[in-house]
Amino acid sequence: MAIDYTKGAGEPEPTGTPVSLSKVTLTKQAPTVSLTKQGGATGTLRVNLNWTSRPAGSGGGGFFKRLAGGGANNDIDLDLGCLYEFSDGTKSAVQALGNAFRDRNTFRSEPYIWLDGDDRSGGNSEGENLYVDLSDLSRIRRVLVYAFIYEGVPNWAAADGVVTLYPVAGPQIEVRLEEAHEGTSMCGIAMIENVGGEISVRREARYVGGHRALDEAYQWGLSWTTGRK
């Protein structure tokens, strides 16, 4: 028996938002995606942070990384980083603060995680990129990707940041930093975690007052001191 899948006369047009096969946006309702099941738990995972601090309608376009109105008091320096924990118990952070970039050309055994640079001028349209080597999954326990406002008014809604993960296979994974949470300088964005050999990415979107508060929230156990860039 043949089944006709064509729209019959008088039937309504399909409604709803089309599902994108090239990008997955993690939300409160759907916070987790498996890299393993999508074939992306291998090679090098790129994590990109970009943001615009110019509200819609204020003029201009693209990623300006400036608050409307200009002036030194309105400049924002938004930084990307991560806490990592390996299966052997090794723990640390990768970030621009303290020059903890972890140059990929100098490591041999660890960490297989590095940051490409620190964009402080707002002139880099590519934002900032963190790289996580997934070639040896047995070494990875968890990696918490975060962003923090190093300078400027702590206003996440104005910054309108977005973090996009680019696995070697499967769709891009997006987490938007669209909640207000004024007065908090740090946001735990996404947790990359190895559970029973399966690598997953879970949306966190957890806003706290700083590095020590983020560490305590996830029980990382690092010692923190005041640093400058």
Query: What per-residue confidence (pLDDT) applies to 160?
Result: 75
CATH class of 34-218: mainly beta
Residue 76's nearest CA partner among 135, 176, 148 is 148
Query: What per-residue confidence (pLDDT) applies to 64?
Result: 35
Computed over every residue of the chain, the mean pLDDT equals 76
pTM: 0.78
Query: What per-residue confidence (pLDDT) applies to 13?
Result: 42
**pLDDT category of residue 169 using cuts at 50, 70 and 90:** very high
Token pair of 220, please?
A: 């990382």
Q: Kindly tell me if the per-residue pLDDT of 92 is higher than 80.
A: yes
Query: What per-residue confidence (pLDDT) applies to 186?
Result: 92
- Tokens 């706290």, residue located: 208
Q: Kindly tell me if the per-residue pLDDT of 142 is higher than 80.
A: yes
The 3-state secondary structure of 135-191, one letter per residue: CCHHHEEEEEEEEEEEECCCCHHHHCEEEEEECCCCCEEEEEECCCCCCCCEEEEEE
Q: Kindly tell me if the per-residue pLDDT of 9 is higher than 80.
A: no
User: Which residues contact residue 59 at a Cβ distance below 8 angstroms, ignoring those fewer than 6 apart?
Assistant: none
State the pairing for strand pair 186-195/32-34. Answer: unpaired
Token pair of 152, please?
A: 């400027």
Residue ranges covered by each domain of the chain: 34-218
- CA 202 and chain centroid, separation: 11
Query: What per-residue confidence (pLDDT) applies to 37?
Result: 94
Burial class (CB in 10 A: 0-12, 13-18, 19+), 19: exposed
Query: What per-residue confidence (pLDDT) applies to 196?
Result: 92
Query: What per-residue confidence (pLDDT) applies to 147?
Result: 92
- Tokens 């910054």, residue located: 159
Arithmetic mean of pLDDT, 109-127: 62
